[in-house]
Amino acid sequence: MTAPRAPIELREFPRPDLPPGAALLRTSRSEVCGTDVHLWHGRLSGVPYPIIPGHVSAGVVDAARGPIHGLDGSTIREGDRVVFFDVHRTCGRCRACTVHRTPTRCSARRVYGITDSADEGLFGGWSQAIYLEPGVALARLPDAIAFDDYIGGGCGLLTAVHIVERAEIRLGDVVVVQGTGAVGLSAIALAKVAGASRIVAIGAPADRLALARDMGADVLLDLARTTSEERRQAVMDATFGEGADVVVEAAGAAAAVPEGLDLARVGGRYVIAGHYTDVGPTTINAHHQINRKHLEIRGCWGSEARHFLRGLSILERHPSIPFRTIGARTYGLHELNDALADAEAMRIPKALVDPWQTAA
C-alpha cells in the first residue's frame, strides 16, 4: 500500500538477516480488517506509507535464530505453526506505560501492518514472509486450530476479549451487541462463552444475522426491518422492562450510541468499542441516559498481549464456534484490491489473505 486510495502494488523484498531471537515466518494467512480499509482511506494519521498491511497473521517458522520462547511457555522451532501479537513494541518507560498503565496509548507503540514503513522490512502480513523481530510476543498455534479459524477470529477476536474484560460480563448477564461485523460477531461468541444468559444481536443484513445466530445470539434484530423503538421494546421484553445488564457497541455508527444508552438497565454497563474512527457527532441526554441511570460507559481501545493469549485459549477450548465462517473468502496477492473493495462495501464480514495462493 503505497499511499491512501492508491492500488496495492506487489514488490519483492530481500530476505532479511536475523539477529539473535528473531525469526522469519512463511505467511499462511492474514486478513483484511476494518483498520485496513481505514488505512486505505487515509483516515489514520502518521502512517509511513508505503506499508505492508496485515496486522494479524499466522504462519510457519521458516528460520529462527537461537531459542525463542513463546508467551504460552513453548519453545519455538523451525517448522512450528505460530501466531503473534501485532503490537511489537511499547516503550515500557513513558507515563502511559508506567504511571497510567495504558500501554495501548504509548506514543512509541508499534504495530505490525500499520506503523512500520515497508522500507524498514517485512512488517506486515500481506506478504509471503514476515519478519518477527526479537521480543515479539508469539505462541504456537495448537494443532487443533486451523489457520482459517485463527484468522477468522483475527483482530476482531482480540478486541472482543478486551471488550468482555472491560464489560465485566458476569454469569447470567443479559448482553446486547450492536453490530454484526467481525468485532460484533466475536463479541457475541465470547459473551456466550463468558456465561451470558441471553444475547441480543442488532445488525444487518440477514446473512450477517444468521452468522450472529451461529456465533451464539439468542435474539436477532435486523436494523433494516425494525425501528429503534421496536428494538428498544424487544430488549425491554427480554429483560422485565429493565434493559440489558451489558450493552456492547461494535457498530461504529453515531446513531448506535444513544440507542445503546437506552438499551442498558439502570446501573448497567455500556462498552463503546466500535468507534475506531471518527464518524461524527452523537447527541445524547446526560440526565435520562447517564445520570439518572447511574450508568457506566467504558471506552475500549486496542488490546494487550494477555488478550492475544486468552483469545488463543478460547479457540482451543471452544472448537465448535464457527470463527472460520467470518472469513468469507480468501484472496491471493493479486486479488488484494478486490479484497479491499469487498471489505469497503461490507459485502463480506472479513476477507482473508493467502499470499501464496495463485490466481484462479
CB nearer to a second copy: pick between 113 and 260:
260
The sign of the dihedral angle between the CA atoms of 68, 70, 76, 81 is negative
Q: Interface with a second copy includes 190 (CB under 8 A)?
A: yes
Q: Which of 73, 320, 358, 359 binds a second copy (CB under 8 A)?
A: 73
Q: What amino acid is encoded at 136 in this protein?
A: V
- Smallest distance, a second copy to C-beta of residue 229, A: 18
Q: What dihedral angle (degrees, nearest 10) is formed by the CA atoms of 217, 223, 226, 231? A: 50
CB nearer to a second copy: pick between 87 and 211:
87
Q: Which segment (65-73, 222-230, 332-340, 342-350) binds a second copy by CB under 8 A?
A: 65-73
- Smallest distance, a second copy to C-beta of residue 225, A: 25
Cell numbers describing residue 249: 457497541
CB nearer to a second copy: pick between 74 and 128:
74
CB nearer to a second copy: pick between 61 and 161:
161
Cell numbers describing residue 320: 465448535
- Smallest distance, a second copy to C-beta of residue 355, A: 28
- Smallest distance, a second copy to C-beta of residue 252, A: 9
Q: Which segment (8-16, 178-186, 190-198, 201-209) binds a second copy by CB under 8 A?
A: 190-198
Report how many residues bind a second copy under the rule CB under 8 A. 79
Cell numbers describing residue 174: 443479559
CB nearer to a second copy: pick between 53 and 216:
216
Using DSSP bridges, classify how beta strands 244-249 and 219-222 pair: parallel, antiparallel or unpaired: unpaired
- Which parts of 223-252 interact with a second copy (CB under 8 A)? 240-242, 249
- Which parts of 78-107 interact with a second copy (CB under 8 A)? 90, 92-93, 95-102, 104-105
Q: What dihedral angle (degrees, nearest 10) is formed by the CA atoms of 51, 55, 60, 62? A: 30
Q: Which of 2, 117, 197, 233 binds a second copy (CB under 8 A)?
A: 197
Q: What is the CA radius of gyration of the chain?
A: 20
CB 164 within 8 A of CB 191: yes
* Partners of residue 87 on adjacent β-strands: 111
Cell numbers 522469519 label which residue? 24
- Smallest distance, a second copy to C-beta of residue 321, A: 12
* Partners of residue 351 on adjacent β-strands: 32, 329
- Which parts of 107-146 interact with a second copy (CB under 8 A)? 135, 137
Buried b (16+ CB within 10 A) or exposed e, 36-63: bbbbbeeeeeebeeebbbbbbbbbebbe
CB nearer to a second copy: pick between 233 and 285:
285
CB nearer to a second copy: pick between 8 and 309:
309
- Smallest distance, a second copy to C-beta of residue 206, A: 26
- Smallest distance, a second copy to C-beta of residue 76, A: 14
CB nearer to a second copy: pick between 86 and 335:
86
User: What distance separates the 2 farthest-apart alpha carbons in the chain?
Assistant: 63
- Which parts of 262-301 interact with a second copy (CB under 8 A)? 265-267, 272-288, 290-301
Cell numbers 523451525 label which residue? 78
Cis previous bond, 20, omega within 30: no
- Smallest distance, a second copy to C-beta of residue 180, A: 18
CB 145 within 8 A of CB 78: no
